[in-house]
Amino acid sequence: MVSLTEVRASNAALTPSTVPKTALFVGATSGIGKYTLTELVSLNLPVKCYVVGRKASEPAMRPVLEALRRKNTQAELVWVEAEVSLLSEVKRVCEFIKQKEERLDLLCLTAGYAPFGGRHDTVEGIEVTHALQYYGRMLFTLSLLPLLRASPSPRVLTVLGGSFLSTNLLVDDLDLRKAGNFGGMRSQTHMSIMNTLFLDRLASDPQNAPV
């Protein structure tokens, strides 16, 4: 594992020509995503960051973004309101980004949800955890691949329970709808496995070699 010292040294070595100039953050209203956004902007380099979040998150994020703008006057921070547990909203955000940008250097996906209160399907019929941790991430990545491929140094960062990985994939019940299959830990594990398989398949495509 790379040490924290090495990570910080690598970050400090970024320059205006090597920093991810255009980034999209999904899930940066808290946790790892928020800290990643903060660290990137705090490098005091020219960056443009789109920050996607729910309407309910905007009041708490407003002062955070304002503080980051004061800290780095070269940074452009764009708040994009969306409920990304809905795939229709994911599509809308992707179309918005594609209309605004010709390339995307960093796609940071950290949105998540722990379903310990039981199964809850969205109006689109997809369980919330699965929408946030797999289907939404898959759709963001696939939809924005043309912009990522246009970047000289593209990166997709998806953060999701690597310690949950196992070989216990229920291929005959990927959405865990059969009786007894759904649960908080089972859902987290299943989505982690599916994410890994999806990204591994995507990485095997020669067109995505630089990503």
Per-residue pLDDT tens for 111-146?
A: 987 777 788 899 999 999 999 999 999 999 999 999
> Tokens 């780095």 correspond to what residue?
72
State how far the Cα of 211 lies from the Cα of 206, in Å rounded to an integer: 10
180: exposed, middle or buried (C-beta count within 10 Å: 0-12, 13-18, 19+)?
exposed
Whether 82 contacts 94, CB under 8 Å: no
Predicted local confidence at residue 155, as pLDDT: 95
> Tokens 């000289």 correspond to what residue?
152
DSSP secondary structure string, the chain?
Answer: ---HHHHHHHHHT--TTTS-SEEEEESTTSHHHHHHHHHHHTT-S--EEEEEE-GGGHHHHHHHHHHHHHH-TT-EEEEEE--TTSHHHHHHHHHHHHHH-S--SEEEE------TT---B-TTS-BHHHIIIIIHHHHHHHHTHHHHHTSSS-EEEE---GGG--S---TT-TT--STTT--HHHHHHHHHHHHHHHHHHHHTSGGGTT-
Min mean pLDDT across 31-35, 113-117, 139-143, 183-187 is at: 113-117
Count of C-beta atoms within a 10 Å radius of residue 59 = 8
Whether 202 contacts 139, CB under 8 Å: no
Average of per-residue pLDDT across 31-36: 94
Average of per-residue pLDDT across 78-89: 98
Average of per-residue pLDDT across 27-39: 94
Q: How many residues does the chain have?
A: 211
* 20-208 to CATH, choices 3.40.50.700, 3.40.30.10, 3.40.50.720, 3.30.200.20: 3.40.50.720
Predicted local confidence at residue 93, as pLDDT: 98
Average pLDDT, the chain: 92
Predicted local confidence at residue 183, as pLDDT: 82
Residue 164 has pLDDT above 70, yes or no: no
Predicted local confidence at residue 7, as pLDDT: 85
Residue 191 has pLDDT above 70, yes or no: yes
Whether 19 contacts 48, CB under 8 Å: no
First to last CA, the chain: 21
Q: What percent of the chain has pLDDT over 70?
A: 99
State how far the Cα of 103 lies from the Cα of 31, in Å rounded to an integer: 26
Residue 163 has pLDDT above 70, yes or no: no
Q: How far is CA 139 from the centre of its chain?
A: 11
Please indicate, yes or no, whether the overall pTM of this predicted structure exceeds 0.85: yes
Residue 15 has pLDDT above 70, yes or no: yes
Task: Give domain limits for the chain.
Answer: 20-208
